[in-house]
Structure formats: structure tokens, C-alpha cells
């Protein structure tokens, strides 16, 4: 009986050791599961943060793309405006050139007309001299007659 007690005692000790080992193993599994869950949560958190960062970067890239498009459109509009302004300036310059040419022609014509008028005045003066000479008056004689007429009237 004593052998049986020893065997039962050994079996009980083995059962205790076995239950402790199973309990430890169970706790290790729980701990490993908890660590795995924490690891998964941490990985999920990191992944979601990275996805958010990636989404922000995509939004920023999209925004920069929109800004670039607007900037390019505005530059195109400015270029077109400058080209239109240059064209308008060229047209205005051509108009001014033609106006200046017309003005030169008008000045030349006016100069010719003035020369003709001067010639005509010279001819008229010559004609008046001839008429005075024909009438017997010269400039000196008319002044002398005026003096004599004035002195006779006094």
C-alpha cells in the first residue's frame, strides 16, 4: 500500500506538474494571442496612418495639379493678352505711320500752295507796279503827291 501511496503521490505530483504546465502553456497562448492582437492593432494603426498620409499626399498633389493648371491657364491668358496688345500696337503704329504720311503730303501740298500764293502775290505786286507805272505813278511820286496835296489843303 505504501507503494500505491507513493505511486498515487507521484501521479498526483505529475498531474499537478502537468496541470501547471498546461496552465502555463494556456497563459502563454493567451499572452501570445494578446501580443498578436496588439501587434495586429499596432500594424492596423500604422497602416491607417500611412493610408491617411498617402491620402493627404494625393490630395496635395491633386491640389498642386489644380494650382498648376490654373497658373498655366493664367499664363496662357496673359500671353494671349500681350500678343493681342502687341497686335493692337502694331495696328496703331501703322495707322500713325499712314497718318504721318498723309500729314507729310498735306504739308507738301500746303507748301506748294503757299509757294503758288507767294508767286501769285509777286505777280500781283508786279502787275500793280505796272499799273502804277502805266498811270504814271511811282511809289515816290505817290508819296510826293500826297505831300503836295496835304500841303495845298492846309
pLDDT at site 77: 94
**Cα angle 59, 65, 70; round to 5:** 130
| Domain residue limits at 148 | 2-153
Write the DSSP symbol of residue 154: -
Phi/psi at 42 (5° precision)? -65, -45
Q: Using the predicted structure, report yes or no on whether residue 70 has a pLDDT greater than 90.
A: yes
Q: What is the CA radius of gyration of the chain?
A: 62
Q: pLDDT tens-digit profile of 1-45? A: 788 888 888 889 989 998 999 999 999 999 999 999 999 999 999
d(CA 143, CA 65): 99
Residue 65 CA to its chain's centroid (Å)? 18
Phi/psi at 45 (5° precision)? -60, -45
Kindly indicate the confidence band of residue 131, based on its pLDDT and cuts at 50, 70 and 90.
confident
Domains identified in the chain, total number: 1
Q: pTM (2 decimals)?
A: 0.43
Find cell 508786279 and name the residue. Answer: 126
Q: Determine contact, residues 132/138, Cβ cutoff 8 Å.
A: yes
Q: pLDDT tens-digit profile of 87-119? A: 999 999 999 999 999 999 999 999 999 999 999
Amino acid at each position: 500500500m505504501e507503494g500505491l501511496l507513493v505511486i498515487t503521490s507521484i501521479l498526483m505530483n505529475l498531474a499537478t506538474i502537468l496541470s501547471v504546465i498546461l496552465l502555463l502553456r494556456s497563459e502563454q497562448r493567451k499572452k501570445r494571442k494578446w501580443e498578436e492582437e496588439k501587434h495586429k492593432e499596432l500594424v492596423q494603426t500604422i497602416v491607417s496612418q500611412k493610408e491617411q498620409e498617402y491620402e493627404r499626399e494625393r490630395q496635395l498633389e491633386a491640389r498642386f495639379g489644380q494650382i498648376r493648371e490654373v497658373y498655366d491657364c493664367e499664363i496662357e491668358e496673359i500671353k494671349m493678352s500681350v500678343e493681342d496688345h502687341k497686335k493692337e500696337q502694331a495696328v496703331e503704329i501703322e495707322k500713325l505711320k499712314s497718318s504721318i504720311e498723309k500729314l507729310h503730303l498735306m504739308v507738301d501740298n500746303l507748301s506748294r500752295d503757299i509757294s503758288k500764293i507767294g508767286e501769285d502775290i509777286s505777280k500781283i505786286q508786279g502787275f500793280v507796279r505796272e499799273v502804277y507805272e502805266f498811270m504814271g505813278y511811282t511809289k515816290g511820286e505817290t508819296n510826293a503827291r500826297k505831300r503836295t496835296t496835304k500841303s495845298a489843303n492846309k
